[in-house]
Amino acid sequence: MPPPLAPVDETLLAACRRGESAAQHQLYQRLAYLLMGVCLRYCPSRAEAEDALQNTFVKIFTRLDQYRGQGPFEAWARRIAVTTSLHALEQHRLRHPAPTLDPDDVAHDLASPEPCAVEQLAADDLLALLATLPPGYRAVLNLYAVEGYSHQEIAELLGIAEGTSKSQLARARRLLERRLAAHHHPQLP
């Protein structure tokens, strides 16, 4: 059950800065649902997403003094969740190196789906579909399409070149379109 989307007020943040446990728990309840979704979109597994979410909240509570009120607090917390999840993803890739897939070799003969195909999918199904993408592609796609980052910002976050970000986004899009087409037309070869 998602909590009500009310902005986090300064009183609650001040109590959290003082280390009041009740206030911290209240802030956790407000943000955990949304930030869990963020972590799930980037992390390769639910277990790792839960770990990332835990680290996200620890960072939030220990760095509250760095939040200066420039923009909504939810956006600040969401950014921490994104960077923490990307870090978890990076650690996962270091521990489990996998061969790079060439999206051009995957389902190259599938038809491109309509954009409404995305909306016809349930959010959980769409997330499962995204999870089938290579982690790097999925991260760039999430950052660009869902979070709204620019390629320059993505390059900074991931430590890659801006051109790499663009090319990976293009490949991720192509791969997602084909996965969607395969999902809607399973009978096609």
Partner 1 sequence: MTDRKPDDLYDALRNRLADYGQEPPAQLWAGIKAQLPLPVARPQLRRRRRWSPVLLLGLLLAVVGGAAWQWWRTAGPGQSAAGTGQMATTGPRSENRTAATASVPPQAATDVAGAVAAGPNSPAARTSTGTATAAQATELAAAKNPLPAFQKNIDVTTLNRSAAATRGRRLAAVRSGNFSAGRADAAYAEPITAADSDAAASVPAMGAAASNTEKVAVRQETAPEASKTARPRVAPAEALATGDASPALPAVPLAGLSAPVAGVNQSQSLADSPQAGTNEDAPDAAGSAQNTAAAGAMLRRTPALALAGFPLPTAQLSADTAPAMPVVVAQRWALQLLGGPAQTFRTLGGGASLEPLPNRNLPPTAAGPASDNVIANALAEKEKSSTGFGLQVQARRVLSGRWGVSAGLGYQEYATRTDYSGPVSYTTYSVSGLPTRASREVSLRQRDTYRFATVPVRVSYALGQASKHLRYGLRAGTDVAVYLGGSTTRSAPSALKNNSPYRPLSLSVMAGLDLHYRVGPRLELLAQPHATYFLTSLPKPISGLTPRYLWGAGALVGVSYELR
How do the residues of the chain divide into helix, strand and coil, expressed in percent and rounded to 5? 70, 0, 30
- Closest CB 9 distance from partner 1, rounded Å: 20
- Closest CB 36 distance from partner 1, rounded Å: 5
**3-class DSSP assignment, residue 136:** helix
- Closest CB 118 distance from partner 1, rounded Å: 4
Length of the chain equals 189
User: Is-contact 74 7, C-beta < 8 A?
Assistant: yes
Question: Which spans of this chain sit near partner 1 (rule: CB under 8 A)?
Answer: 1-2, 17-21, 24-25, 28, 32-37, 40-41, 50, 53-55, 57-59, 61-63, 66, 83-84, 86-87, 90-91, 93-94, 115-116, 118-119, 121, 123, 126-127, 141-142, 144-146, 148-153, 155-156, 159-162, 173, 176-177
Cβ proximity to partner 1, 20 vs 102, nearer residue: 20
